[in-house]
A and B are shown apart, each in its own frame.
Chain A
């Protein structure tokens, strides 16, 4: 098969041999593990060779499929709590035996008095702790998706500044519809979009630019994330993340706006979405 290559490395143009030689390195290339020089050579080859380009695309799709299928098992909340309790240090008490007896009796009285109050609060508190952990995990995943995408050589699958092009691209790919805001008279520009997965739930990932900063907007079905909400959840303070982030729920969808832009920019884009998604 003549692959019709046009590339700029030391190899006979269009030869099967050159393609076969590159093909053995294609997986390593897609894993980002080739030396720089070979990376550039294969990059140039793939751009100029339709056969290898199609092969690379098929392998990328296979990698994605493995990744989605591979994130299959979720631990139970009980196991998480058991492990957490086992590794998080507890304060230790050290009392002399005599004191232990005397204080034990006093403690018993107090314990009996407090038991009913404690029991009434415990379930709520445990739930709160689990919710907090789950929320932080989801926020961490969102930050990872943002970084991973920006580090990718192909951050978007649909490249367009036109929301009327980007929005229809998602139709049939995700199980919900959403609106994109009109960016006229704003500093933001749409770069494009791609599919995203969070906990195996499919969603939309949109990338915007503002003054050389990239901002990701993720949209997922609220029910698919099972994200516990708290009264302050619509304006979370995500101090543990190296990014500014805003998240809210609207019309059954959960939005995340995240990036290294200023908090004001994140807030401004979030407001555009909040206003635009009702239309």
Chain B
């Protein structure tokens, strides 16, 4: 997937600074180093090939992540990991992610990164990806909406459920000791 010319130059300038975070996200999605490497390579190849369709002035990062995610979802691992995504309703109140007996206070005292990583790992892929885009990639709701091709209302409700699912997972781990 060799590129040449000023277009490729522009692509490299925009895409290479995202390389580490793109890889991190790919690894979280695939949960496997080799598959993550293949996914990143395919993402960069597709993005370079389709760079002429990228609208300057729009969000390049969201564009790259969208390509990565779509590539993942059509891969064998992606199809296995996300056979169905529940319908998100953006109507009504958001669910309370923190409940009265929250595990945060316990987590503060006995925080372990491994525990958090396992809790994220255990999330269904549609919760894992939105949580990582928000908290790790620090994307705005608008960027997340563009990346996942969903309305902002759905971003909010899905994020709320993802947070609740993460807390439930942490609570379960804490209960199991």
Contacts and interface: CB of A to CB of B under 8 A. Distances in A.
Interface of A: 20, 23-28, 31, 33, 55, 58-59, 61-63, 65-76, 79-80, 82-90, 92, 137, 140
Given A33-B141, A58-B98, A58-B102, A83 B28 contact: no
B120 A70 contact: yes
Nearest to A21: B93
16 contacts: A27-B159, A61-B108, A62-B163, A63-B135, A66-B136, A67-B135, A72-B24, A75-B19, A75-B24, A79-B23, A83-B44, A84-B16, A85-B2, A86-B3, A87-B44, A88-B9
Nearest to B22: A75
Nearest to B117: A69
The prevalent SS among residues of B at the interface is: helix
A83 B41 contact: yes
A61 B107 contact: yes
A138 B157 CA distance: 35
B173 to A, nearest CB: 13
Given A72-B117, A80-B19, A86 B44 contact: yes
B142 to A, nearest CB: 9
The prevalent SS among residues of A at the interface is: helix
A31 B160 CA distance: 11
B67 interface: no
Q: Which 10 A/B pairs are nearest by Cβ-Cβ distance? A: A70-B136, A58-B104, A73-B27, A69-B116, A75-B23, A89-B8, A66-B135, A89-B4, A87-B12, A73-B24
A174 B169 CA distance: 28
B132 interface: yes
Contacts of A83: 16, 19, 40-41, 44
A25 B24 CA distance: 29
Interface in B4-37: 4-5, 8-9, 11-12, 15-17, 19-20, 23-24, 27-28, 33, 36-37
A72 B15 CA distance: 20
Nearest to B15: A87
Contacts of A58: 98, 102, 104-105, 108
Nearest to B163: A27
B91 to A, nearest CB: 13
A66 B4 CA distance: 39
Given A86-B45, A89-B4, 17 more contacts: A23-B96, A24-B93, A24-B96, A27-B159, A27-B163, A59-B104, A65-B107, A68-B113, A69-B116, A69-B117, A70-B131, A72-B28, A75-B23, A83-B19, A86-B1, A88-B3, A89-B5
Residue picked from B1, B3, B20, B24, most chain A C-beta under 10 Å? B20
Interface size bracket, B side: 35 or more
B64 to A, nearest CB: 12
Contacts of B37: 75-76, 79
A69 B113 contact: yes
B12 A88 contact: yes
B131 to A, nearest CB: 7
A61 B104 contact: yes
Contact of B2 (A71, A79, A86): A86
Contact of A71 (B24, B94, B105, B141): B24
B156 interface: yes
Nearest to A83: B44
Interface string B154-177: 001001100100110000000000
